[in-house]
Structure 1
Amino acid sequence: MSERKALVVRGGWDGHQPVEATELFIPFLEENGFAVRVEESNEIYADEAVMDETDLVLQLVTMSTISPEALAGLRRAIEQGGTGMAGWHGGIADSYRNSEAYLQLIGGQFAVHPSKAPDQLHGEQADNYLPYTVELTELGRSHEIMAGIDDFDLVTEQYWVLHDDLNDVLATTTHPVQPYHPWHRPITSPAIWTRMWGAGRVFVSTPGHRVEILEDPNVNSIIRRGLLWAARDGRDAA
């Protein structure tokens, strides 16, 4: 079988460590037979020749913007060419807030990560680090991406995402009611999902705020398997 090609696109907000975080997975992709190309701009998506030969896009671009040409190229590659797309946290679920077509492609958009109590806030990223549980769904317990993994706990940003029913949700997380938050009942939100989009596959993990979370054994295994699952002509996740 000829060598497959992965395209790593990274940038946006530095707080998500786009370089360090993606470098964590590049050796894994290479070990699994991918030639990896790294780009610091999403304008590469507008290059039809590059996208036609790309089997997997790993994106870590938080916020930022995307041109109409780049977005059209990305969607064409996934919808028509079967290119897979995968990512985690704000690098995929909080990208290009001004683009409804991108949000529809991904199927979930970051809305908020609730903070600690007001008297515990110090103006740091850690203000939003909460203990929470990632709970597998019935589908997740039978899915190859989650094989051998049970519910697990993290202390990091807990994403609340806006989403739709086209997602195949593999795991969820529940935001509790707190006296200092405005919601009045617990809210369950997707934490890990897959999505079929045209000829392509999309994989999203909301855990992944920084390298230390990506190194968590459960999160790391799930993302590795998600990358292989999403890739065009991929093998079963292992």
Structure 2
Amino acid sequence: MTRTALIFWGGWEGHEPRACADRVMQMLTQDGFQVDSRPGTDVLAQGDLGRFDLIVPMMTQADIAPDALANLIAAIQAGTGLAGFHGGMGDTFRAQPAYQFMTGGQWVAHPGDFLDYRVQITAPDDPIMQGMGDFDYHSEQYYLHVDPAIEVLATTTFDGTHAPWTRGTVMPVVWKHRFGAGRVFFSALGHNAAELDHPQAQTILRRGLAWAAR
């Protein structure tokens, strides 16, 4: 049976939401999903979102109507998967704590903006991370406020160069958790469409999308 996915995209153009949505749609289609990709949040208020096995946010710093947010949360809680990356999922609805409770974290800073940093794999036996070692990455090193109940799969350590008080802080980069009956996956990697070609970032995302889907 073919699994179905919904991508909703928009918001801040710096994250290239349409291009990223197209890349993720390509990945999901290659992996056997039937994909519906829509701009904006109106689709989230239209009918039972439980008709999708996976929902992928690709939207940064956006507003959402209360009924649309409630519909999204209800669908994930009932068993639809939620998966995404970077600010497209980690800073989607900045004013909505209920959304952040579901995702497991919220972006708050990236000291130094684009820089080189190391990603450490903390769960090498997890299917999403299997066969993968630590790797270097060049992008924004996300500082997030996170739910202590998430299952962390990879981390990064801040050296304090751009914010001295963060020196030695170990920050989750990739995680998964449950929200009701739904599986939730997040990766902080992938600022724009080009970053999705990074081998480890793409592998982690593709495996995370598949894991989260019902």
Same-fold status (TM-score > 0.5): yes
Match of 1:30 in 2: 29
Q: What SS does structure 1 have at the residue aligned with 2:128? A: helix
Match of 2:89 in 1: 92
1:142 and 1:148 map into 2 onto residues whose CA distance is 8
Q: Max radius of gyration: which structure?
A: 1
Encode CA deviations 1:91-147: one digit per residue, 9 max, x unaligned.
0001111111001111111010011xxxxxxxxxxxx1111001011xx21110111
Equivalent residue runs for 1:82-161 within 5 Å: 82-115=79-112, 128-137=113-122, 140-161=123-144
Match of 2:70 in 1: 72
1:43 and 1:173 map into 2 onto residues whose CA distance is 36
Match of 1:212 in 2: 194
1:136 and 1:94 map into 2 onto residues whose CA distance is 23
Contact 2:5 2:56 in 1 (8 A): yes
Q: Are 2:57 and 1:59 equivalent residues in the alignment? A: yes
Contact 2:54 2:213 in 1 (8 A): yes
Total equivalences in the alignment? 214
Q: Which amino acid aligns with 1:204?
A: F
2:20 and 2:35 map into 1 onto residues whose CA distance is 15
Encode CA deviations 1:56-105: one digit per residue, 9 max, x unaligned.
0111101111111111001110102x100111000000111111100111
Deviation at 1:30, TM superposition (A): 1.6
- TM-score relative to the length of structure 1: 0.87
Q: What SS does structure 1 have at the residue aligned with 2:201? A: helix
- Structure 2: gaps (5+ residues): none
1:163 and 1:175 map into 2 onto residues whose CA distance is 16
2:99 and 2:44 map into 1 onto residues whose CA distance is 13
- Range moving further from structure 2, 19-28 or 6-15: 19-28
Deviation at 1:29, TM superposition (A): 1.3
Q: What SS does structure 1 have at the residue aligned with 2:106? A: strand
Q: Are 2:47 and 1:48 equivalent residues in the alignment? A: yes
Q: What SS does structure 2 have at the residue aligned with 1:69? A: helix
Closer, same or farther in 2 for the Cα pair 1:204/1:184, shift >3 Å? closer
1:38 and 1:181 map into 2 onto residues whose CA distance is 38
Q: Are 2:149 and 1:166 equivalent residues in the alignment? A: yes
Match of 1:236 in 2: none
Aligned-residue identity in percent: 41
2:166 and 2:20 map into 1 onto residues whose CA distance is 36
Match of 2:174 among 188, 192, 197: 192
